[in-house]
């Protein structure tokens, strides 16, 4: 199973914000889209950083509410791990588990082609297990040969 199989179902939309966006505005974007992270990008296609709710929590704990008026570039992670659509789902699961992040941008020719979250991976796995289970059940009850 490859990352492109997930993107085919969920689509290639990626929510991005320019680096100068305030942390306060970032909170609105996360809430509005019901997501936990956005890619930081000036043009909406290249990846300059990633910023998740965890970065906001850490910055608030370290520096207090003053962080809300700072640009997201002050709290983003710049060493972003990305994958290609050809990457195997198992490898991306391992990457997320070992590096302890829940989001991985997908790039084609250095351009954003989607984003995969741990929620997408879990949903995909559950769907896969359900298909397997019902195929086996049909086979056992003789509804399929
Ligand atoms: P998350 O679990 O995705 O909310 O992120 C946890 C931490 O890892 C935060 O500091 C993020 O900025 C960072 N992070 C999230 N995704 C990535 C990624 N693909 N590459 C590098 N760092 C990331």
Please tell me the distance from the alpha carbon of residue 56 to that of residue 39, in angstroms, as a whole number: 14
Q: Is the CB of 37 under 6 A from ligand 1?
A: yes
Number of H helices, E strands in the chain: 5, 5
What are the residues whose beta carbons fall under 8 Å from the beta carbon of 50, sequence distance 6 or more? 37, 38, 39, 40, 76, 77, 80, 103, 105
Q: Is the CB of 56 under 6 A from ligand 1?
A: no
Token digits of residue 55: 């970065």
CA pair distance 34, 100, nearest whole angstrom: 21
CA gap 46, 23 in Å, rounded: 20
pLDDT(145) > 70: no
- Mutate which of 15, 26, 39, 52 to test ligand 1's pocket (most atoms within 8 Å of Cβ)? 52
For residue 4, pLDDT beyond 70: yes
**Is the pTM higher than 0.85?**
yes
pLDDT for position 28: 98
Cβ–ligand 1 contact at 59 (below 6 Å): no
Flag whether pLDDT at 144 surpasses 70.
no
Residue 113, CA distances (Å) to 38, 57, 86 in order: 14, 28, 12
Q: Which of 39, 19, 17, 41 is nearest to 28 (CA)?
A: 17
Residue whose Cα lies nearest atom 10 of ligand 1: it is 55
Domain 3-141 has CATH 3.10.580.10: yes
In short, whether 40's Cβ falls inside 6 Å of ligand 1 is no
What is the residue-averaged pLDDT of the chain? 95
Per-residue pLDDT tens digits for 15-35: 999 999 999 999 999 999 999
CA pair distance 68, 142, nearest whole angstrom: 61
Test site for ligand 1: of 39, 50, 84, 99, most ligand atoms within 8 A of the Cβ: 50
Dump pLDDT digits (tens) for 73-124.
999 999 999 999 999 999 999 999 999 999 999 999 999 999 999 999 999 8
**Strand ranges for the chain from DSSP E:** 16-17, 37-40, 49-52, 103-108, 111-117
Q: 119-142: per-residue pLDDT in tens?
A: 999 998 898 899 889 889 888 888
């Amino acid at each position: 199973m490859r990352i492109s199989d997930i993107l085919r179902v969920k689509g290639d939309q990626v929510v991005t914000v320019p680096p100068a966006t305030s942390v306060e505005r970032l909170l609105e974007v996360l809430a509005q889209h019901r997501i936990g992270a956005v890619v930081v990008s000036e043009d909406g296609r290249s990846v300059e950083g990633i910023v998740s709710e965890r970065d906001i929590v850490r910055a608030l704990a370290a520096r207090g509410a003053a962080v809300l008026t700072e640009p997201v570039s002050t709290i983003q992670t710049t060493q972003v791990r990305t994958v290609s659509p050809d990457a195997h789902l198992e490898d991306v699961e391992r990457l997320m588990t070992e590096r302890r992040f829940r989001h991985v941008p997908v790039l084609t020719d250095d351009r954003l082609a989607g984003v995969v979250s741990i929620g997408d991976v879990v949903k995909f796995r559950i769907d896969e297990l359900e298909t397997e289970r019902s195929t086996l059940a049909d086979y056992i009850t003789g509804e399929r040969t």
